[in-house]
Amino acid sequence: MCGIVGGVAERHIVNILLEGLKRLEYRGYDSAGVALMESDGSLKREREIGKVKNLAEAVAKSKVNGTVGIAHTRWATHGGVTKENAHPHMSNNDIALVHNGIIENHEVLRTELQAKGYEFLSATDTEVIAHLVHENRKSTDTLLAAVQKSVKQLDGAYGTVMMEPANPDRIVVARSGSPLVIGVGIGENFVASDQLALLPVTRQFIFLEEGDVAEITRDEINIFDADGNAVEREINESTVTHDAGDKGEYRHYMMKEIHEQPAAVRNTLLNRINADTVIEEYLGENAAEILQGIDHVQIIACGTSYHSGMVARYWLESLANVSCNIEIASEFRYRKSFVPANSLIVTISQSGETADTLAALRLAKEIGYKASLSVCNVPGSSLVRESDLAVMTNAGAEIGVASTKAFTTQLVALLMLTVALGKQKGMTAELQKEIVTALATLPNKLEETLTMAEGIEKLAEEFADKQHSLFLGRGEQYPIAMEGALKLKEISYIHAEAYAAGELKHGPLALIDAEMPIIVVAPNNDLLEKLKSNVEEVRARGGILYVFADKDARFKGDDTMRVMEVPHVDPIIAPIVYTIPLQLLSYYVAIIKGTDVDQPRNLAKSVTVE
Ligand code: F1P
């Protein structure tokens, strides 16, 4: 979703801002803009719809530059995709600002400000902030004071950065519900909605907290909490190990990230397992103590992360003997739910900034969950900071909107968590050893599975003209079927639905004909014979099957059933391995269809509005 970059320097920074925006492109956006200020206070702005490339061309033409500036990629919420609605927004040439989030009381504020004579030039909620700050600036000595006054009048979520030509040596930022990070430099300072944007200029970051307002100059960063008290916030050295970098030998980030999975999983496992078990300390200093009293786990997540949580439910109940529920964050946060005694809330999120997941965590803390744990890929993100324990997936930056390596590393982290909790519930030493042994083999198994790519590329040709598809799995492979269907939807725009195979005859069987490809995930586990019966039900009705199966599962391919052999693995880690061919399938289908694989239409990487 929207991205922010800003900076105060001695050098001209337009290229730093544009590079920052490019690094945020992966989040999904539909227009981009930049405003720069020279030290004499002259203010210039460029905005373009479409890609950052268009903005860069406009900037090159108009030669806009300056030492202080703000930039933005917009993902439309209020107001269509137009140049007028793109940020930065200005109030009477006196204030320029960019904003992520949604101002919920924008209508009321707009009416009030219009009555005071402000003319609105866009349909955005953001422009309200610009005029509100402008109005409050009339009765305050500084922009900082005007922002502190204004944020008290705003409802909703914002990460906002602004500047005024009257004081061209500073920017003012405010955070509530939408992340902002300050990049600390030498004789220059920056701000962004995601540290990735600033990695070319610094690795020193201050993560602003909820309610913080800060004034930033070249040499000073003054931060104030929601009550207006000056506060010190720690400077963190960035631990982002893989820079987003370029696509290397790959055509798309998604394919690069699919192929990074063996290395990413190695990283997730690093120093966290030994030959016998999981080393609990990796979860945090007092992890063992917190997990000890836990009798129930409630998992909360959205999208792909929800699917990894669904697999974890099977693992936690069958392997760790801990009761577990899972719910989509946007549902959980708006219903009254029962909190069993000694419950742990587990949030799962690649970004750690998904608005619904974050709100659900905050609610869980309020309603009596004993402790919170987050499985997350972004260090310093809101979920990580607000949870008692965090298990980092360490997958490196994920740029493709459709999540791949974040998902498989989440599964690895969740399987390790299963062992850690299982130990508290009497999991046998043999089972602990079986799980860590299987995990240790996983990176090589994933490498082996990736060699299926060529065969799947051919298979994809049979899908490209289809309108619909059905994915089937049973047990912990059911969520993998769901994830496969989601991937196909997201990047190839083919309607895909997943069913627990046992549900087929309760409705979806009516859909089966030769135009409906049916994809089946079939490892050699104790549900195999049941699954085979479901496959026969489809075959008997003229359906065309594509079965991803263990060779010992003995499926016989023919005209109506294509069988793709997946490497043999311990059934415990099979959900992780079977994810790979489904990712590859959706990728190759999308290539044939010519879609924008890394930034599929209408989607955003980090869903920071509800
Ligand atoms: C959740 C999610 C992703 C999906 C897309 C939109 O994000 O649904 O799973 O791939 O990027 O957001 P997160 O909470 O895991 O960051």
Q: CA–CA separation, 447 vs 452, rounded Å?
A: 10
Residue pair 310/366 in contact by the 8 Å Cβ criterion: no
Q: Report which ligand 1 atom has the smallest distance to the Cα of 607.
A: 12
Residue pair 26/71 in contact by the 8 Å Cβ criterion: no
DSSP state of 509: G
Residue pair 256/388 in contact by the 8 Å Cβ criterion: no
Q: Is 608 in the pocket of ligand 1 (CB under 6 A)?
A: no
* DSSP strand pairing (296-301 vs 95-100): unpaired
Domain 3-237 and domain 449-598, same fold? Reply is no
Q: Is 302 in the pocket of ligand 1 (CB under 6 A)?
A: yes
Could you report the per-residue pLDDT of 573-603, keeping only the tens digit for each? 999 999 999 999 999 999 999 998 888 888 8
Q: CA–CA separation, 351 vs 371, rounded Å?
A: 21
The catalytic residues are 2, 605
The best mutation among 26, 606, 609 to test binding of ligand 1, ranked by most ligand atoms within 8 Å of the C-beta, falls on 606
Q: Is 349 in the pocket of ligand 1 (CB under 6 A)?
A: yes
Nearest alpha carbon, ligand 1 atom 9: 304
Q: CB-based contacts of 133: which residues, under 8 Å, 6+ apart?
A: 91, 95, 97, 143, 146, 147, 150, 162
CA 303 to centroid of ligand 1, rounded, Å: 5
Closest CA to 247 of 605, 603, 607, 597: 597
CA 397 to centroid of ligand 1, rounded, Å: 13
Residue pair 399/257 in contact by the 8 Å Cβ criterion: yes
- Collect the ranges in the chain with pLDDT lower than 70: 240-245
For the chain, the average pLDDT equals 93
The best mutation among 193, 311, 350, 377 to test binding of ligand 1, ranked by most ligand atoms within 8 Å of the C-beta, falls on 350
DSSP string across 233-276: ---EE----S-----TT-SSHHHHHHHTHHHHHHHHHTTTB-SS
DSSP state of 2: -
What string of H, E and C letters represents the secondary structure of 316-379?
HHHCCCCEEEEEEHHHHCCCCCCCCCCEEEEEEECCCCCHHHHHHHHHHHHCCCCEEEEEECCC
Burial class of residue 38 (count of CB atoms within 10 Å of its CB; 0-12, 13-18, 19+): middle
Q: CB-based contacts of 186: which residues, under 8 Å, 6+ apart?
A: none
Could you report the per-residue pLDDT of 263-319, keeping only the tens digit for each? 999 999 998 999 999 988 877 777 888 888 899 999 999 999 999 999 999 999 999
Q: Is 393 in the pocket of ligand 1 (CB under 6 A)?
A: no
Q: Report which ligand 1 atom has the smallest distance to the Cα of 401.
A: 11
CA 430 to centroid of ligand 1, rounded, Å: 35
Q: CA–CA separation, 136 vs 269, rounded Å?
A: 52
| Stated pTM of the model | 0.79
State the CATH architecture for 3-237: 4-Layer Sandwich (3.60)
From the CB of residue 61, how many other CB atoms can be counted at a distance below 10 Å? 9
Nearest alpha carbon, ligand 1 atom 5: 605
Nearest alpha carbon, ligand 1 atom 14: 349
Closest CA to 15 of 69, 75, 95: 69
CA dihedral 264, 268, 273, 274 (to 10 degrees): 40
From the CB of residue 133, how many other CB atoms can be counted at a distance below 10 Å? 26
Q: CB-based contacts of 9: which residues, under 8 Å, 6+ apart?
A: 16, 67, 68, 185, 187, 188, 189, 190, 218
H or E stretch covering 230: strand 230-231
Residue 514 is predicted with a pLDDT of: 85
The distance of Cα 374 from the centroid of its chain, to the nearest Å, equals 13
Tokens of residue 425, six digits:
């519930």
Residue 404 is predicted with a pLDDT of: 97
Q: Report which ligand 1 atom has the smallest distance to the Cα of 304.
A: 9
Topology classification of domain 244-427:
Rossmann fold (3.40.50)
Vertex 391 angle, CA 386 and 350, to 5°: 75
Residue 241 is predicted with a pLDDT of: 52
Residue pair 600/401 in contact by the 8 Å Cβ criterion: yes
Residue pair 521/583 in contact by the 8 Å Cβ criterion: no
Chain position carrying tokens 């866009």: 122
Q: What is the CATH number of domain 449-598?
A: 3.40.50.10490
Domain boundaries defined on the chain? 3-237, 244-427, 449-598
Burial class of residue 247 (count of CB atoms within 10 Å of its CB; 0-12, 13-18, 19+): middle
Residue 74 is predicted with a pLDDT of: 94
Q: Is 350 in the pocket of ligand 1 (CB under 6 A)?
A: yes
Residue 150 is predicted with a pLDDT of: 97
Closest CA to 97 of 67, 68, 129: 129
Q: Is 405 in the pocket of ligand 1 (CB under 6 A)?
A: no
